[in-house]
A and B are shown apart, each in its own frame.
Chain A
Amino acid sequence: MNRKIIAQRMRKNPFFIVGTITCTVIIVCLFVIPYFIPFDAQANSLTEMFGKPDWFSKGFEGHIFGTDQMGRDILARLLLGGKISLAIAFVVVFIQVVVGTVLGLIAGYFGGIVDSIIMRTCDVVLSIPNLVLALAIMAVLGTSVVNLVAVLSFSGWVQFCKLTRNNVKVASNMEYVHASQALGSGSARVMFRQIFPNVTTHIIILASQRIGWVILLESSLSFLSLGIPAPTPSWGNMIANGREYLTLYPWIALVPGVALMFVVLGFNFLGDGLRDVLDPKRTS
Chain B
Amino acid sequence: MGNYILRRIGQTLIVLVCVSLVAFFLIRLAPGSPAVLLLGDGATDEQIAAKEAELGLDKPLYVQYFRYIAGVFRGDLGMSTQYRMPVSDLIANRLPNTLRLAFFTVLLGLALCIPLGIVAGSHRGTAIDFFAMFFALLGQSMATIWIAVLNVYVFSVVLGWLPAVGTGTWAHYVLPVVTLGYPLAAETTRIGRSGMIDTLNEDFITATHAKGIRPSVVHWKYAFKNAVCPVITLVGMRLGAFLAGAIVVESIYSWPGIGQLLKTSVGNRDYQLVQSLLLLSAFLFALVNLLVDIINSLIDPRIVLE
Q: Which of A132, A265, A283: most chain B CB closer than 10 A?
A: A132
CA distance A252 to B240 in the complex (A): 34
Let me know if A137 is at the binding interface, CB within 8 A. yes
Closest CB in chain B relative to A127 CB, distance in Å: 5
Q: What mask results when residues 216 to 232 of chain A are scored 1 for a CB within 8 Å of chain B, else 0?
A: 10011001111000000
Partner of B241, one of A129, A239, A265: A129
B106 within 8 A of A: no
Contact A224 B146 (CB under 8 A): no
- Do the beta carbons of A124 and B22 come within 8 Å of each other? yes
Which residues of B from 243 to 258 have beta carbons under 8 Å from A? Answer: 243-245, 247-248, 251-252
A135 contacts partner chain B, Cβ-Cβ < 8 Å:
yes
Name B145's closest neighbour in chain A (CB-CB): A223
Q: Does B207 contact A (CB under 8 A)?
A: no
Q: Considering only CB atoms, which chain B residue lies closest to A258 in the complex? A: B146
**Interchain nearest-CB distance for A140 vs B (Å):** 4
Q: In the complex the two chains form, is B194's CB within 8 Å of A132's CB?
A: no
Contact partner of A246 among B30, B153, B197, B241, CB < 8 A? B153
Q: What residue of chain A has the Cβ atom nearest to residue B121's Cβ?
A: A283
Contact call A140/B27, Cβ cutoff below 8 A: yes
* Interface residue A260 (Cβ < 8 Å from any Cβ of B): yes
A257 to B152, CA, bound (A): 13
Q: Assess whether B97 is interfacial by the CB under 8 Å rule.
A: no
Contact of B194 among A120, A130, A240, A283 (CB under 8 A): A283
Is A132 in contact with B244, judged by CB distance below 8 angstroms? yes
Does any Cβ of A come within 8 Å of B180's Cβ? no
Cross-chain contact B149 with A239 (CB below 8 angstroms) = yes
Stretch at the interface among B46-54, B275-283, B297-305: B275-283
Interface: A30 (CB within 8 A) = no
Which residue of A is nearest B30, CB measured? A140
- On whether the beta carbons of A123 and B11 are closer than 8 Å, the reply is yes
B153 touches A254 (CB 8 A): yes
* Contact count A vs B, C-beta below 8 Å: 134
B102 at the interface (CB under 8 A from A): no
Tell me if A136 is interfacial: C-beta within 8 Å of chain B: yes
- Residue A164 lies at the interface, judged by CB distance under 8 Å to chain B: no
Q: Is the CB of B145 within 8 A of A124?
A: no
Cα distance A6–B47 in the bound complex, in angstroms: 71
A226 touches B153 (CB 8 A): no
Is the beta-carbon distance between B190 and A130 smaller than 8 angstroms? no
Residues in A neighbouring B29, C-beta threshold 8 A: 140
A128 within 8 A of B: yes
- Which one of B137, B191, B243 lies within 8 Å of A129 (CB-CB)? B243
A138 CA to B27 CA, complexed, in Å: 11
Chain B residues whose CB sits within 8 angstroms of the CB of A284 once the complex forms: 190-191, 194-195, 198
A interface bracket (residues with beta carbon within 8 Å of B)? 35 or more
- How far is A44 from B254 in the complex, measured between Cα atoms in Å? 31
- Cα A254 to Cα B154 in complex, Å, equals 11
A18 to B: closest C-beta gap in Å: 10
Known: A120-B18, A132-B243, A261-B146. A139 touches B269 (CB 8 A): yes
Q: Looking at the complex, which one of A123, A133, A220, A226 makes contact with B145 (CB distance below 8 Å)?
A: A220
B217 at the interface (CB under 8 A from A): no
Q: A124-B22, A269-B137, A284-B194 are in contact. Are A130 and B244 (CB under 8 A)?
A: yes
B interface size (C-beta, 8 A): 56
Query: How many angstroms between the C-alpha atoms of A129 and B284 in the bound complex?
Result: 10
B15 touches A120 (CB 8 A): yes
Contacts of A137 in B (CB 8 A): 26
Decide: A220 near B149, CB < 8 A? Known: A124-B19, A132-B262, A265-B138.
Answer: no
Contact of B262 with A135 in the complex, beta carbons under 8 Å: yes
B274 touches A139 (CB 8 A): yes
Q: Whose C-beta in chain B lies nearest to the C-beta of A262?
A: B141
| Residues B251 and A224 in contact, CB atoms below 8 Å apart | yes
In the bound complex, what is the Cα–Cα distance between A137 and B29 (angstroms)? Answer: 10
Please, which residues of chain B bring their CB within 8 A of the CB of A260?
143, 146
Chain A residue with Cβ nearest B17: A124
Check if B263 is an interface residue, CB within 8 A of chain A. yes
Residue of B with least CB distance to A130:
B244
Residue among A133, A138, A240 with most chain B CB within 10 A? A133
B285 touches A129 (CB 8 A): yes
In the complex, what's the smallest C-beta–C-beta distance from A142 to chain B, in angstroms? 9
B82 adjacent to chain A (CB < 8 Å): no
Nearest-CB residue, chain B, relative to A133: B278
With A139-B269, A223-B248 known as contacts, the answer to whether A127 contacts B286 (CB < 8 A) is yes
* Residue of A128, A240, A243 contacting most chain B CB atoms (<10 Å): A128
List chain A residues, Cβ under 8 A from B289: 127
Taking a contact as CB atoms under 8 Å apart, the answer to whether B286 and A212 are in contact is no
B11 lies within 8 A of A128 (CB): no
- Within 8 Å of chain A (Cβ to Cβ): is B150? yes
Query: Which residues of chain A are near B191, meaning CB under 8 Å?
Result: 284
Residue contacts A-B, CB under 8 angstroms, 12 given: A128-B281, A128-B285, A129-B285, A136-B266, A140-B29, A212-B140, A224-B248, A224-B263, A257-B150, A264-B141, A283-B194, A283-B198
Known contacts A137-B26, A224-B251; can you find 9 more A-B pairs with CB under 8 A?
A: A127-B16, A129-B244, A139-B30, A225-B267, A254-B153, A257-B145, A260-B143, A261-B142, A265-B138
Q: Which 7 residue pairs are nearest across A and B when measured between Cβ atoms?
A: A284-B194, A131-B244, A129-B241, A129-B244, A265-B141, A139-B266, A264-B141
